Structure 1
Amino acid sequence: MNISPMGPVAREMTARLEKHLAPARIELRDDSEQHRGHGGYREDGGESHFFLRIESAAFTGQSRVGRQRLVYKALGDLMHERVHALAMETRAPGE
């Protein structure tokens, strides 16, 4: 696992992804500061924009959209309440 120390939203995201998708590899990066002045940016410095690179056996046989749906399902209410944007790269083992 490649997990950088992050704030509470990123830690919760990582915990949910680990619980629901059991990733072999995961990288979650907070890109919020790169979106200063854009929609969804939190002036209080809170986390809002993320990049996720994840490899999980749960993605085997899934389309790109199917994989994204699995990620969104794992993150649940965070995607509606705390996360404004999530860019992601999803892979199954061996890809």
Structure 2
Amino acid sequence: MSLSPRARADFLLLGPATEQRCLEAFATAEGVLLYARYPNIVSKATWVFRELPALMDKGLPPELVAVQVCRFLDGGYAALEVPETISIDGLIPD
């Protein structure tokens, strides 16, 4: 059995708190709720996934933060870049 924090957030306490393991601890809603208040763990996880603090600051439910972390760990995450200004010129006929 793997003792990955991705399976159970408290498994982070059973091994070294590497950057990767700290990020894996945020792969469950329980992990997000448990470790979001520890800046040292968030900081280590941010070395791997720099968007993590922004996801938590947006007020997303822990389940959605965990889904985004899992997508990143699986290689399917792409940060959305939204331009500061969006023009609708030409979209509405006169």
The TM-score normalised by the length of structure 2 is 0.25
Higher helix share: 2
If asked which structure has higher relative contact order (CA below 8 Å, sep 6+), I would say 1
Choose 1 or 2 for highest CA Rg: 2
Higher strand share: 1
